[in-house]
Amino acid sequence: MTGRFVEVADGVHVFNEPVLDVNVTLVVGDGAALLVDTLSTAGQAAELAAAARAVTTAPLTVVNTHHHFDHCFGNAVLAGQPPRPIYAHERVTAALRKHPDRLRREAYDEVSAGWPELAPALAATVLLAPSRSVRTETLLDVGGRPVLLRHPGPGHTDGDLVVQVPDADVLVAGDLIEESGPPAFEDAYPLRWPDAVVDLLRLCTATTVVVPGHGRPVDVDFVRAQQRQLTELAGLIRAGHRAGVAPERLTADAPFGPDAALTAIRRGYTELDATAP
C-alpha cells in the first residue's frame, strides 16, 4: 500500500486504502491535527502515518468511527508512542478494552475468507483501546477549528461516530454511508439505521462533502438516496416479520442486493423477536 492524502476541502484531506477501499480523513488546524480512523494493521498504519506527516507535522488526535478492524486496529501505531488521545463512542472503548482477543479473532476469520494477504499481519497487530469516550457528542478544538463528534444512534454498529468539520462543510460518516458497495449489516441495527442517517443529515448543508467509510466522497443527495433505501429495507423487514414471511423470500425485492439484504432481514427479525410482547 502506497498512497497519499488528497485535499477534499480547506485543510481536510482523505486517504484511501485500496485493499478494502477504506477512507481515513485528516483535519489540519493551527499546530494540531485530527486523524479519523487508523486502518487494519501495523504496516498499514505506519504507511498512513508517513502519508499524514507529508501533510502536517502537527501532533495528532485520533478518532475511531466504530470498532471494526479496518477502522481502528492501527491505533497503537498512530497514537501509542508517544501516547496521543483517541476518541470513540463509549461502546467502542469498552469493546476494545474488554474483548481485544475476540475482536482480533473475528477480524482474522473475516480477512482469511476474503483478503488472505492481510491475515498474518492482522494476527500480529497489537490493539490499543481509545482513551476518551463519547456518549452523545463532544466538541473538539483542532488548532482553532471546531470539530464535532456525534453518535447518531445505532446503525452500522451500536457505537458509530460521525465527525463534522463545519468550517469546511465536511462530514465524515464512517460506515453509516457506503459508496463502493452495499452497507454491511453483520453488526447492524437495520430498523434504526435510517434514523441514524436522518440525524447525520441534520449536520449537512446542500453543499456538504460527505466522506463515506468506503469509496469516493459523495454529496448530500447520495446520502438522502441511501437513507431512502435503508427506510425501504426497514419497512420490508417489519412487514415481512408481521406476516411471518421467511427472510429468504424477501430478498428479491430488497434494496442493496440479496446477500446484504438477507443479513439485514435476519438481524431485523431477531430484534423484532426480542421486543415482541
Domains, the chain, ranges and CATH? Answer: 6-216 (3.60.15.10)
Query: Does 276 score more than 80 pLDDT?
Result: no
Backbone angles phi, psi at 172, to 5 degrees: -95, 115
pTM of the model: 0.96
User: By the 8 A CB rule, do 234 and 191 touch?
Assistant: yes
Per-residue pLDDT reduced to its tens digit, 56-101: 999 999 999 999 999 999 999 999 989 999 999 999 999 999 999 9
Please, which pLDDT band fits residue 122 given cuts at 50, 70 and 90?
A: very high
Q: How far apart are the first and last CA of the chain?
A: 51
Selection from 1, 10, 13 nearest residue 53 by Cα = 13
Query: Does 2 score more than 70 pLDDT?
Result: no
CA distance 33 to 185: 32
- Mean of the pLDDT values across residues 230-257? 96
Per-residue pLDDT reduced to its tens digit, 40-55: 999 999 999 999 999 9
% pLDDT > 70, the chain: 99
Q: Is the dihedral of CA 182, 187, 193, 199 positive or negative?
A: negative
Angle subtended at Cα 22 by Cα 229 and Cα 235, rounded to the nearest 5 degrees: 15
Of 223 and 3, the one with more pLDDT = 223
Per-residue pLDDT, 257: 96
Query: Which residues neighbour 163 within 8 Å (Cβ) at sequence distance 6 or greater?
Result: 25, 27, 34, 36, 63, 65, 147, 148, 149, 150, 171, 172
Please, which pLDDT band fits residue 3 given cuts at 50, 70 and 90?
A: confident
Query: Does 1 score more than 70 pLDDT?
Result: no
Query: Which residues neighbour 177 within 8 Å (Cβ) at sequence distance 6 or greater?
Result: 197, 200, 210, 212, 213, 218, 222, 223, 226
Per-residue pLDDT, 277: 72
For residue 163, list its beta bridge partners: 149, 172
DSSP string for 40-61: SSHHHHHHHHHHHHTT--SPEE
Query: Does 35 score more than 80 pLDDT?
Result: yes
Query: Does 275 score more than 90 pLDDT?
Result: no
Query: Which residues neighbour 178 within 8 Å (Cβ) at sequence distance 6 or greater?
Result: 184, 212, 213, 214, 215, 226
